[in-house]
C-alpha cells in the first residue's frame, strides 16, 4: 500500500499580518511550508505529494517567484492552486493525488513542526482498518457550548474531548467520496464522520500546533533554535 499527502498551504494567514500567505512566512530563513514538506518527504511508502498553494503562487518552477525559495519539493511533487476556503483547497489537492495511493493524508502547512512519528501513527491506524485517523490531545480547559447571546447551552465532559491536529489520514476512496458529497467543514474528519464512517483519534503532539498568530511564530522560532535547525 502507498501513501499520498496533500499539504494545504493556500490560506491567506491574515491573523498573522505578515504580508505574504501564511505558509510562505519565513522561519529561520525558510517558509513554514518548507519544514512541513521536509517531514512529509521522510514518510515511508510515500508515492504522491500535492502542495496546494495560493493561486498567485501556484507556479513555483517560475524562478521569478521568490516566495518558494527554500522549499525542497520531493521529485514528482505536484503544485495546484487552492480555493477560497480550506474545503475548496483540499478538494483541489485530492483531485491531484495519484489514484493508486490507498491512504491519503491531509496536512496543514501551518502545522510546520509536526514530528514524523505523528504521521506514522495516523498511517498505521488507517492500515489497521480505520476509515480515518486524526491526531489529538486531551483538552486542558473546560469547554462550553454557547448560543448567539453567549448563554451556556452545555458543558461536555472534558475527559471525552480531544483537540485535533493534522495530518488527518483516510482510506483514499472514503475521503474522495466525502468530498464528492458537497458537504463543507474546517476539518476533514468531520466530513468523513458525517458520511457514517469510523474515524479514530491517535496520539497527537504539542509540536503539531498550528501557527496562527505572531506569538505562535515566535514559539516556532524558539523551538527550531533549540533543535539547532
Ligand atoms: O486558516 P487556517 O489556519 O485554519 O488554515 C489551516 C491550513 O489550511 C493552512 O495550512 C492554510 O494554508 C490552509 N488553507 C488553504 N486554503 C484556504 C484556507 C486555508 O489551503 N482557503
Would you kindly state where each structural domain of the chain is located, as residue ranges?
3-226
Per-residue pLDDT, 227: 85
What is the distance, to the nearest Å, from the Cα of residue 208 to the centroid of all Cα atoms in its chain? 10
Closest by Cα among 67, 71, 62 to 41: 71
β-strands 152-154, 168-171: how paired? unpaired
Pocket of ligand 1 from Cβ distances under 6 Å: 8-11, 22-23, 52, 82-86, 89, 108-110, 210, 212
pLDDT band at 113 (very low <50, low <70, confident <90, very high): very high
- Measure 190 CA to ligand 1 centroid, in angstroms: 16
**Cell 496562527 sits on residue:** 212
Which residue's CA lies nearest to atom 3 of ligand 1?
212
Contact in structure between 118 and 125 (CB atoms under 8 Å): no
β-strands 3-8, 103-108: how paired? parallel
Q: Note the ipTM here.
A: 0.98
Distance CA 27, CA 6 (A): 21
Closest by Cα among 60, 63, 58 to 89: 58
- Measure 111 CA to ligand 1 centroid, in angstroms: 10
Which residue's CA lies nearest to atom 19 of ligand 1?
11
> Is pLDDT of 157 > 80?
yes
Contact in structure between 107 and 7 (CB atoms under 8 Å): yes
Query: For 17-36, what is the mean pLDDT?
Result: 93
Which residue's CA lies nearest to atom 14 of ligand 1?
11
Length of the chain: 229
- CATH number assigned to the domain with residue range 3-226, chosen from the 4 options 3.40.50.300, 3.90.550.10, 1.10.287.950, 3.30.1330.180: 3.90.550.10
- Measure 88 CA to ligand 1 centroid, in angstroms: 10
Per-residue pLDDT, 186: 82
What is the distance, to the nearest Å, from the Cα of residue 67 to the centroid of all Cα atoms in its chain? 20
Question: pLDDT per residue over 164-211, tens digit each?
Answer: 999 999 999 999 999 998 888 889 999 999 999 999 999 999 999 999
- Measure 10 CA to ligand 1 centroid, in angstroms: 6
- Measure 24 CA to ligand 1 centroid, in angstroms: 12
Buried b (16+ CB within 10 A) or exposed e, 133-150: bbbbbeeeeeeeeeeeee
Mutational pocket test of ligand 1: of 11, 27, 52, 113, the residue with most ligand atoms within 8 Å of the beta carbon = 11
Task: Retrieve residue 185's grid coordinates.
Answer: 467543514
Task: Retrieve residue 112's grid coordinates.
Answer: 510546520
Which atom of ligand 1 lies at the shortest distance from residue 90's CA? 20
> Is pLDDT of 63 > 70?
no
Amino acid at each position: 500500500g502507498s501513501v499520498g499527502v496533500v499539504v494545504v498551504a493556500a490560506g491567506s494567514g491574515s491573523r498573522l499580518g505578515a504580508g505574504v500567505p501564511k505558509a510562505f512566512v519565513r522561519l529561520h530563513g525558510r517558509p513554514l511550508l518548507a519544514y512541513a514538506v521536509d517531514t512529509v518527504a521522510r514518510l515511508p511508502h510515500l508515492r504522491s505529494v500535492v502542495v496546494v498553494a495560493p493561486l498567485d503562487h501556484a507556479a513555483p518552477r517560475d524562478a521569478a517567484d521568490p516566495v518558494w525559495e527554500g522549499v525542497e519539493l520531493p521529485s514528482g511533487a505536484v503544485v495546484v492552486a487552492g480555493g477560497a476556503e480550506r474545503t475548496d483547497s483540499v478538494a483541489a489537492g485530492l483531485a491531484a493525488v495519484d489514484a493508486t495511493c490507498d491512504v491519503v493524508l491531509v496536512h496543514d502547512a501551518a502545522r510546520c513542526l509536526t514530528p514524523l512519528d505523528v504521521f506514522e501513527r495516523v498511517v498505521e491506524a488507517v492500515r489497521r482498518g480505520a476509515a480515518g485517523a486524526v491526531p489529538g490531545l486531551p483538552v486542558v480547559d473546560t469547554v462550553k457550548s454557547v448560543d448567539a447571546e453567549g448563554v451556556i447551552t452545555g458543558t461536555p465532559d472534558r475527559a471525552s474531548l480531544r483537540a485535533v491536529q493534522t495530518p488527518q489520514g483516510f482510506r483514499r476512496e472514503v475521503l474522495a467520496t466525502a468530498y464528492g458529497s458537497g458537504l463543507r467543514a474546517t476539518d476533514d474528519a468531520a466530513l468523513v464522520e458525517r458520511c457514517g464512517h469510523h474515524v479514530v483519534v491517535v496520539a497527537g503532539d504539542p509540536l503539531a500546533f498550528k501557527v496562527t498568530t505572531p506569538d505562535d511564530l515566535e514559539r516556532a522560532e524558539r523551538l527550531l533554535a533549540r533543535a539547532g535547525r
